[in-house]
Amino acid sequence: MEVVILGTSSAAPTMRRWLSGTAILREGEVLLFDCGEGTQFRFMKAELPRRKFGKIFITHLHGDHIFGLPGFISTMNLGQRDTPLTIYGPKGIRRYIDFILNFPRTTRLGFELRIEEFPPNHEGVICEEDDYVVTSAPLDHTIPSLGYRFQEKDLPGKFDGAKADALGVPFGPERGLLQRGEAITLRDGRVVHPDELVGPPRKGKSVAYITDTGFCIAARRLAADVDLIIHEATYGDDQLDMALDRKHSTIRHAATIARGAGAKKFVATHFSTRYEGAALAQLETEGREVFPDLIMAHDLLRIEV
């Protein structure tokens, strides 16, 4: 599984940083979290396949997280997309999408567009597939905002091929049955049980995506024991009052959440445009005082999970 940070700026783009958007690549599928202005350009720059993603998760309805949707939807339509696209988000996202599609009164989509809205206090499952689940929790922002957790379901244990050979288990469906937890009977009548050849289940990988929010205990719950947490770090200590007033996090807040959640990796992102050069380096210093191994995001950063 790989995560690609498409944009790292808060509120407005800079010459070096574009707006919020993060992609998760897994098993040939691409999931997009937030879609700020210019996301489709970052998508192309990162060489991500537009035809291989079918889900967009929106945290909240501020422009720097949704203004990329009109262009993205239009481009997919012009590209003759014919597979469904589902957009998940807080209540109000359907009205915004309806406006995009109906304002010019010329947009006729050639693909199915599904909208899944959730109340601002929703905590629980957003989307569930055979091998993963996406859950959400309400964050603490000036408007309703949802944080997300992508969680793979537990994977089968490792199959001991050498031992299977020694036991005379043939190549073919028999091995698949064992890996799925079913016993098999060999031609000579011997019964082979899964626990003889298959190790214990392997815990699935997980990613938490948390922005925009002030310091928020719900974010720590959402990110508990996560492999990777991506958390907004809009301000430094020098702008603590502004962070509290605008319900954003300082990098120290974000690092505290990451450490308290027991996250294995922490990526800080969503930096205010005031932080460049030495100011951005100071931001990093403050974060490392709490979470020494933090990763400062930059546009098009790729992270293996």
Tens-digit pLDDT profile for residues 239-286: 999 999 999 999 999 999 999 999 999 999 999 999 999 999 999 999
Q: Which amino acid is at 178?
A: L
The answer to whether residues 150 and 168 belong to one domain is no
Structural domain of 39: 2-155+203-304
The answer to whether residues 124 and 236 belong to one domain is yes
Helix, strand, coil in percent for the chain, rounding step 5? 30, 30, 40
Domain boundary (147, 179, 197) is at 197
To the nearest 10 degrees (0 to 180), the angle between helices 278-288 and 251-261 is 30
The answer to whether residues 34 and 79 belong to one domain is yes
User: Confidence class of residue 106 from pLDDT cuts 50, 70 and 90?
Assistant: low
What average pLDDT does the segment 164-189 reach? 92
The answer to whether residues 82 and 188 belong to one domain is no
Token readout for 158 is: 């490792």
The answer to whether residues 250 and 288 belong to one domain is yes
The answer to whether residues 269 and 122 belong to one domain is yes
Q: Which residue has the higher pLDDT, 101 or 62?
A: 62
The answer to whether residues 256 and 231 belong to one domain is yes
Q: Catalytic residue positions?
A: 64
What CATH number has the domain bearing residue 43? 3.60.15.10
How far, in Å, CA of 56 to CA of 103, rounded? 22
The answer to whether residues 190 and 135 belong to one domain is no
Other Cβ atoms closer than 10 A to 62: 18
The answer to whether residues 184 and 93 belong to one domain is no
The answer to whether residues 146 and 185 belong to one domain is no
What average pLDDT does the segment 139-154 reach? 97
Residue 155's pLDDT is 84
The answer to whether residues 100 and 248 belong to one domain is yes
What average pLDDT does the segment 27-38 reach? 96
Domain count, the chain: 2
Residue 115's pLDDT is 97
How far, in Å, CA of 171 to CA of 88, rounded? 43
The answer to whether residues 239 and 125 belong to one domain is yes
How far, in Å, CA of 229 to CA of 264, rounded? 8
Residue 49's pLDDT is 87
167 — phi, psi (to 5°)? -85, -10
